[in-house]
Amino acid sequence: MVSYKFGRELRLLTPSQFDNVFQNPFRVASPLFTILAKPNQLTQPRIGLTIAKKRVKLAVQRNRIKRCVRNSFRLHQHQLPAVDLVLMVKGDISNTPNDELLKQLERLWQKIARQYTALSSG
One-letter identity of residue 7:
G
CATH number for the domain whose boundaries are 10-116 = 3.30.230.10
One-letter identity of residue 82:
A
pLDDT-derived band at 3 (thresholds 50, 70, 90) equals: confident
Q: Say whether pLDDT at 87 is over 80.
A: yes
Q: Say whether pLDDT at 121 is over 90.
A: no
Element (H, E) at 19: helix 15-22
Closest CA to 80 of 12, 10, 7: 10
**In terms of pTM, does the model score above 0.85?**
yes
Characterize the bridge pairing of strands 46-50 and 83-89: parallel
